[in-house]
Amino acid sequence: MTTGYVFHPEYLWHDTGTSAGVVLANPAAGIAPAVHIENPEAKRRVHELIHAPGLLGELMIIEPRRATVAELLRVHTEAYVQHIKTQSDLHGGGDAGDGYSPVGHGSYDIARLAAGGLIELVTAAVHGDITNGYALVRPPGHHATADAGMGFCLFNSIAVAARHAQAELGLARIAVVDWDAHHGNGTQAIFYDDPSVLTISLHQANCFPPDSGWTTENGVGEGAGYALNVPLPPGSGHAAYLHAMHQVVLPALNRFAPDLILLANGFDAGVFDPMARQMLTAASYREMTRLLIDAADRLCHGRLVAAHEGGYSPFYTPYCALAFLEELAATTTHVTDPLAVVVAGYAAEPLTPQQQAAIGEATQLVSRLHSRVTTS
């Protein structure tokens, strides 16, 4: 078993500039500029925590390349790809669409390198060079729709890689599991009418985008039933996420029987993250990863390929990512989560009736997915 790893220094060069939280700093509003919240620091520290204790040496390094325009156009509109290029060519950069998604000078090429990195990782998995893998890419992608960037996302790398796998690698059915704290709205929208790609998003209810990711968003047309959402109340932690994995994610994967599982791997449901209010620990990510590995082993030759999405705590995201990657590569380093003792009480938080109800609603939809698949 071999685990692939994609990283490139350019991922840290995507320049998001300054802001005040997620909004523009504005002297008239009396707020000083600070480093943008989606900045390289958490990602740099993830890579260093993989490198320093020797884990990097146990991984197969997969070199990224830039996705071609033709590869981007399998997902995005021509006008949108051109928009990102135009913004990127500006000396001071621009924005991908919603006013909160900076495009730095040169970010067009970096975003292509992120999507192309994931393409290369998926290709290596399908060719059997690796069993599974992790692409520590930046900028993130899961909020980007076909024709609009949002939520710090430029190109939807996971969607581009999924379409590449179908068009070039002979895969038919692809499942996207998204456990970023925010709704994977872009990926959902791209595949909303497509039964060949199942999207499952676990996220904080009504967080970002606002009013998005409800259980009622279930796919349309041929794709009806193939979008699943588990909007969890703020404060959901280990028990709720594990319950959602067992009640929704695993049964849905079993019924869909994918050829490949792609993971939108956000760590912003971590307990110290500034961008959401969920309570996962490194141990939670480890356990959730174990479940996905088992599912991939059972269903698709172990093919579980992850793309880094959110995760904004520079000091805690790295421990969550390390736990994820140790589990993926079936190895351990000498590094343990030093904050585990601090958050032990949070992780022990029992399942609440509200969490149970939210998960229960999504569970109902899984049984409908079952009947669709078995009768088709």
The DSSP call for residue 153 is: B
Instruction: Give the one residue of 40, 104, 258, 266 binding Zn ion; rule: CB under 5 A.
Output: 266
182 binds Zn ion (CB under 5 A): yes
- C-alpha 345/C-alpha 364 separation (Å) is 31
| Residues 6+ positions from 57 with CB-CB distance below 8 Å | none
Looking up tokens 């703020």 gives 234
* Count of alpha carbons within 13 angstroms of residue 289, beta-carbon side: 27
310 binds Zn ion (CB under 5 A): yes
Using the minimum distance from each CB to Zn ion, give the nearer residue, 4 or 237.
Answer: 237
Q: List the beta bridge partners of residue 4.
A: 60, 133
10 Å CB burial of residue 361 (0-12, 13-18, 19+) is: middle
Distance of CA 123 to the CA centre of its chain: 18
Tell me if residue 143 is catalytic.
Answer: yes
180 binds Zn ion (CB under 5 A): yes
Residue 30 CB neighbours (<10 A): 8
Q: Identify which range of 58-66, 173-181, 247-255, 277-285 contacts Zn ion by CB under 5 A.
A: 173-181
Q: Which positions from 50 through 109 interact with Zn ion, judged by CB under 5 A?
A: none
Using the minimum distance from each CB to Zn ion, give the nearer residue, 22 or 169.
Answer: 22
Q: Identify which range of 184-192, 284-292, 310-318, 321-329 contacts Zn ion by CB under 5 A.
A: 310-318
Site string for Zn ion, 206-225 (x = CB under 5 A): --------------------
Query: Cβ 139 to Zn ion, closest distance in Å?
Result: 12
Q: Identify which range of 103-111, 121-129, 176-184, 323-331 contacts Zn ion by CB under 5 A.
A: 176-184
- C-alpha 14/C-alpha 19 separation (Å) is 15
268 binds Zn ion (CB under 5 A): yes
- C-alpha 48/C-alpha 343 separation (Å) is 23
Q: List the beta bridge partners of residue 103.
A: 94
10 Å CB burial of residue 363 (0-12, 13-18, 19+) is: buried
Query: Cβ 275 to Zn ion, closest distance in Å?
Result: 6
Q: Could you say which of 8, 143, 183, 308 is catalytic?
A: 143
For Zn ion, the nearest residue by Cβ is: 310
Q: Identify which range of 35-43, 62-70, 306-314, 332-340 contacts Zn ion by CB under 5 A.
A: 306-314
Query: Cβ 209 to Zn ion, closest distance in Å?
Result: 11
Catalytic sites, residue numbers: 143
Site residues, Zn ion (CB under 5 A): 180-182, 266, 268, 310
